[in-house]
């Protein structure tokens, strides 16, 4: 009897976001036999309640405590337990689920993801920050608890599917593909006047606002390079980025014998989610099929580091090690929020991240043997304080 024949206890952290919605949609369309144990959301009470009434989890958690009364009212008589607050989200993550979708956006996803790892769950990881801020600790905790971390980002899922663990020593490069975002062909002069509305208008993927801005700056690829280095134990110099506007090839693995293996598929998040859910099996569902003849042409470009300096910043942070990636992530979150609030310009995002990294002693922030979450929190708080000062200076 294969793993898909058995009931599976599932939790979705960040169920109202784009990845969480795609996860539940996939499970619905595949007719997967699952018991949903917990659904969590940040502020979207209406959608969380709709999902809870459809899936009847044991627990529905809203992080914004002020919205708990509304959640309780919407779920009155349903039998679904309710809770609120960041600690309740962590408790839900550490619950009895066998498979946990970690799709909370931003640093807020780190605590719950670590909790799921320590509980020994199979973690479908869509939260970049968990790896960027505490990758080695997260992976070690999961392994010690008998769990596994399976990436859901399309790029890392692609590598996960084509990288042969028995031959990883023969890998020359991991090549992450990038769509190039909405400003792929813009000049720096044009980008200097870009609006938040233009930055979130991604040409290929339907994503949240913050992730869409990261795609526009290409910081998302910088974060993904760090993730790939941790996930697949690759040194920084063997992780590269290639711009591929069609978003059909999701990543490539280049081997020492000259072979390069690629994973292809339509730009649909449900495909890597299906891979993570069914691993090591495959999940039949009415997936969109790839019609290469209709696509006709696949093109590739080297990323322009002059127009997209976030890539260089990320590679330098990865090479620096210590808490530098966590500092970079915090600074980027602060800068993106400031841009969306129209307090700084688009080009100021990367400039603010670079300046924050220069000001913060990332090596001195990490203490050997300290708790991974507390170290990450301390780093995040310090970096945000500095980044806010930098942003305030840029906005004058």
Domain boundaries of the chain, sorted by first residue: 3-151, 154-266+287-316, 321-396
Burial of 312 (0-12, 13-18, 19+ CB in 10 A): middle
Query: Is-above-0.75 flag for pTM?
Result: yes
- Buried b / exposed e over 159-195, threshold 16 CB at 10 Å, is bbbebeeeeeeebebbbbbbbbbbbbebeeeebeebe
State the Cα torsion 80-86-87-93 to the nearest 10°.
Answer: 60
Q: Tell me which CATH homologous superfamily contains domain 3-151.
A: NAD(P)-binding Rossmann-like Domain (3.40.50.720)
Average pLDDT over residues 220-244: 95
Q: What is the pLDDT of residue 370?
A: 61
pLDDT tens profile 312-326: 999 999 999 989 999
Q: What is the pLDDT of residue 207?
A: 72
pLDDT tens profile 10-49: 999 999 999 999 999 999 999 988 999 999 999 999 999 9
- Percentage of the chain beyond pLDDT 70 is 95
pLDDT tens profile 142-193: 999 999 999 999 999 999 999 988 888 999 999 999 999 999 999 999 999 9
pLDDT of residue 138 exceeding 80, the answer is: yes
The alpha carbons of the chain give a radius of gyration, in whole angstroms, of 20
Higher pLDDT, 7 or 206: 206
Provide the token pair at 342: 């129209």
Q: What is the pLDDT of residue 183?
A: 96
Q: Are 44 and 23 in contact (CB under 8 A)?
A: no
Q: What is the pLDDT of residue 366?
A: 57
pLDDT tens profile 195-209: 999 999 877 666 778
| CATH number for the domain whose boundaries are 321-396 | 1.10.1740.10
Would the CA dihedral through 212, 251, 28, 122 be positive or negative?
Answer: negative
Q: What is the pLDDT of residue 227?
A: 96
Q: What is the pLDDT of residue 362?
A: 61
pLDDT of residue 107 exceeding 50, the answer is: yes
Average pLDDT over residues 224-242: 95
Q: CA 267 to CA 377: how far, in whole Å?
A: 34
Q: What is the overall mean pLDDT for the chain?
A: 92
Average pLDDT over residues 90-116: 94
Q: Are 114 and 138 in contact (CB under 8 A)?
A: yes
Average pLDDT over residues 239-247: 95
């Amino acid at each position: 009897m294969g793993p898909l024949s058995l009931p599976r206890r599932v939790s979705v952290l960040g169920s109202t976001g784009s990845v969480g919605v795609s996860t539940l949609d996939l499970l619905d369309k595949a007719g997967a036999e699952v018991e949903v144990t917990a659904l969590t959301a940040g502020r979207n009470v209406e959608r969380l309640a709709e999902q809870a009434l459809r899936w009847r989890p044991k627990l529905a958690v809203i992080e914004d405590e002020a919205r708990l009364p509304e959640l309780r009212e919407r779920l009155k008589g349903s039998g679904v337990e309710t809770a609120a607050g960041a600690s309740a989200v962590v408790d839900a993550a550490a619950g009895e689920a066998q498979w946990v979708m970690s799709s909370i956006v931003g640093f807020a996803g780190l605590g719950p993801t670590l909790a799921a790892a320590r509980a020994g769950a199979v973690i479908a990881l869509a939260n970049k920050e968990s790896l960027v801020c505490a990758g080695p600790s997260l992976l070690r905790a999961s392994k010690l608890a008998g769990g596994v971390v399976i990436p859901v980002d399309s790029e890392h899922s692609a590598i996960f599917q084509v990288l042969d663990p028995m031959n990883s020593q023969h890998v020359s490069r991991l090549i992450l593909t990038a769509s190039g975002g909405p400003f792929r062909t813009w000049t720096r002069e044009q980008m200097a006047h870009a609006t938040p509305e233009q930055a979130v208008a991604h040409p290929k993927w339907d994503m949240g606002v913050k992730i869409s801005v990261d795609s526009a700056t290409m910081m998302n690829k910088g974060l993904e390079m760090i993730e790939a280095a941790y996930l697949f134990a690759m040194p920084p110099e063997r992780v590269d980025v290639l711009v591929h506007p069609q978003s059909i090839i999701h990543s490539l693995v280049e081997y020492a014998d000259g072979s390069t293996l690629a994973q292809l598929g339509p730009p649909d998040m449900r495909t890597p989610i299906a891979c993570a859910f069914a691993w090591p099996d495959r999940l039949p569902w009415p997936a969109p099929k790839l019609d290469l003849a209709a696509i006709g042409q696949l093109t590739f470009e080297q990323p322009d580091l002059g127009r997209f300096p976030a890539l260089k910043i990320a590679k330098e942070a990865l090479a620096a090690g210590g808490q530098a990636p966590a500092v970079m992530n915090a600074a980027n979150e602060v800068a993106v929020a400031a841009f969306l609030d129209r307090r700084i310009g688009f080009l100021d995002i990367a400039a603010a991240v670079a300046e924050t990294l220069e000001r913060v002693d990332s090596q001195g922030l990490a203490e050997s043997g300290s708790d991974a979450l507390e170290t990450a929190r301390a780093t995040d708080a310090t970096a945000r304080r500095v980044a806010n000062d930098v942003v305030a200076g840029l906005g004058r």
